[in-house]
Homo-oligomer: A and B are copies of this chain.
């Protein structure tokens, strides 16, 4: 008898841990719908090839707002609405130019102004170069060796990190703060090795900010091949000069929007689950992996639920956040409005690490909440979602944490992401249809479980 009770208990525990067989079937249907009738790839084609780059304040950004709103309305979601938000409006202007002047040899190298940078004077800047790997090395050089020069930040992303985002995290301070640190010591410009692991000719733009009380010096990314060449040339001739010219400008803030589509919850409409990506993108490519994929996957999640006749208990929202790249104003605005309107957001999922094959989800929440989600692993691991545990959520949904929302960062395979990130080659062709669709299905599966079981 005792043994039978134990067995029964074990059965209950394991059913609780593994979810109902019905869940497993529903999740299979979600993947079948995504892979068999998926729409996200064609949506991405339009967003990237017909609309193209969508930097905050640009015509492309406005077109993307209009188009995603119409698209979600056509899907018949219960409500589609905009959230107005003022966003920074930086423009690149004319294409940048740069060369290494090594004695009589002039070698052109590919650069791209960093987002937020000031322009050079019209005639450009030419100066000697001092190469450093990090800020301590720069500070150790002191004003004497830096003043009047261009500082060249050349710390590569560490290729031995198996998750490329860790390599990015170890290098990106150069891009974000390099100009400020250089200006403190009297530099006239800052050139930063591109945040990429591939050795190629594509400069990677990206956000930077100026500290207060220091001169605003122009700053640009140089391609990894260009950085290698400059470093090698400096070894041979430390007194060579570098020339660059850029035309970028910060205009007054512009009016823009988050775009939100929702399916109303049937039982607990006041509890909201968000799935989102950011609609803005850097201007060099088409904003495919960053983050067109996250946007179309989020809309696809709602489409899949509707197509399968799944009526969520809670309200599910697809949110296209505006201005992740150079301000995060959309994410901040979304959380502000949620607070202002007394909305309860139980969970938010962001897809902003590319449209690659799914690997899992990072979770930001209490130990108990994480544990609950980790117990769903047996339902998700058959689809390659093994990495479910503590981890980052996502920039846009970050501000929701203060409201007690549990955050989920969708984690696709990271190997190729930084080949595309913020470059001219972040285009539709770089996205694989099936990988994109598997991502949407993975997010839909998690939304389904979150809606059914809460947190």
Contacts and interface: CB of A to CB of B under 8 A. Distances in A.
A383 interface: yes
A423 to B, nearest CB: 15
Interface string A355-386: 00101000000000000000000000111101
B434 A31 contact: no
A133 interface: no
Contact of A433 (B198, B386, B432, B434): B198
A300 to B, nearest CB: 15
A373 B247 CA distance: 59
A142 interface: no
B433 A31 contact: no
A435 B198 CA distance: 12
Interface string A148-172: 0000000000011010100000000
A32 interface: yes
B434 A415 contact: yes
A413 interface: yes
Nearest to A38: B159
Contacts of A381: 386
Question: Chain A, interface size: which category?
Answer: 20 to 34
Contacts of A252: none
Copies of this protein in the assembly total: 2
Given A160-B32, A160-B35, A357 B438 contact: no
A357 B413 contact: yes
Interface string A408-435: 0000010110010000000000001111
B357 A415 contact: yes
Nearest to A199: B433
B386 A36 contact: no
A432 B419 contact: yes
A73 to B, nearest CB: 28
A257 B323 CA distance: 59
Interface of A: 31-32, 35-36, 159-160, 162, 164, 197-198, 357, 359, 381-384, 386, 413, 415-416, 419, 432-435, 438
28 contacts: A31-B160, A31-B162, A32-B160, A35-B159, A35-B160, A35-B162, A36-B159, A36-B160, A162-B382, A162-B383, A162-B384, A162-B438, A164-B434, A357-B357, A357-B413, A357-B415, A359-B384, A384-B386, A384-B413, A386-B386, A415-B432, A415-B434, A415-B435, A415-B438, A416-B432, A416-B434, A416-B435, A419-B432
